[in-house]
């Protein structure tokens, strides 16, 4: 996957997730959504979003699972480029402190495996170790 862009990984992941969900491949109800923090907007609009709670560094995807469990997935272009930016590192540390699983992924299949394992209760805050 040399030269692949992060946005392409995100699109591939979400497309596969929707397909698998449509075919009932997940045993639990779950909701996965992208957190659009990477917008190029005017300074004024960005300030308004921040005043509404926009937080820099939030992971690419939020995962909500039946029963009130939550996890986050951050995509990076490759295993070599998995280093988080400072604000992303801050957000990951907040998740760690709250016991919320946070996964850094660079492979769509592995991200879907994480999603499935989390949905099925194989990953919890006490058992999950980040890929970082």
Q: What is the pLDDT of residues 9-54, one digit of tens each?
A: 999 999 999 999 999 887 678 899 998 776 677 888 878 887 888 7
Find residue 104's DSSP bridge partners.
Answer: 74
CA-CA distance, 132 to 130, in Å (whole number)? 5
Confidence at residue 63, expressed as pLDDT on a 0 to 100 scale: 95
Greater model confidence, 28 or 67? 67
Confidence at residue 130, expressed as pLDDT on a 0 to 100 scale: 54
Q: What's the burial of 53, exposed, middle or buried (CB within 10 Å: 0-12/13-18/19+)?
A: exposed
Is 132's pLDDT higher than 50? no
Q: Is the pTM of this model over 0.75?
A: yes
CA-CA distance, 105 to 59, in Å (whole number)? 11
Confidence at residue 99, expressed as pLDDT on a 0 to 100 scale: 92
Domains of the chain: 6-119 (3.40.1350.10)
Is 78's pLDDT higher than 80? no
For 76, the 3-state DSSP assignment is coil
Is 126's pLDDT higher than 70? no
Is 115's pLDDT higher than 90? yes
Mean of all residue pLDDT scores within the chain: 86
Confidence at residue 125, expressed as pLDDT on a 0 to 100 scale: 67
């Amino acid at each position: 996957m040399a030269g692949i862009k992060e946005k392409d990984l995100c699109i591939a992941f979400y497309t596969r997730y929707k397909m698998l969900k449509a075919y009932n491949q997940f045993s639990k109800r779950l909701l996965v959504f992208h957190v659009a923090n990477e917008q190029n907007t005017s300074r004024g609009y960005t300030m308004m979003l921040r005043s509404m709670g926009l937080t820099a560094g939030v992971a690419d995807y939020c995962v909500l699972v039946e029963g009130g469990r939550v996890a986050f997935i951050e995509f990076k272009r490759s295993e070599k480029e998995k280093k988080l930016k400072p604000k992303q590192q801050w957000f990951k540390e907040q998740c760690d402190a709250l016991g919320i699983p946070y996964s850094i992924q660079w492979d769509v299949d592995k991200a879907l495996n994480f999603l499935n394992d989390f949905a099925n209760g194989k990953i919890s805050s006490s058992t999950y170790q980040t890929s970082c």
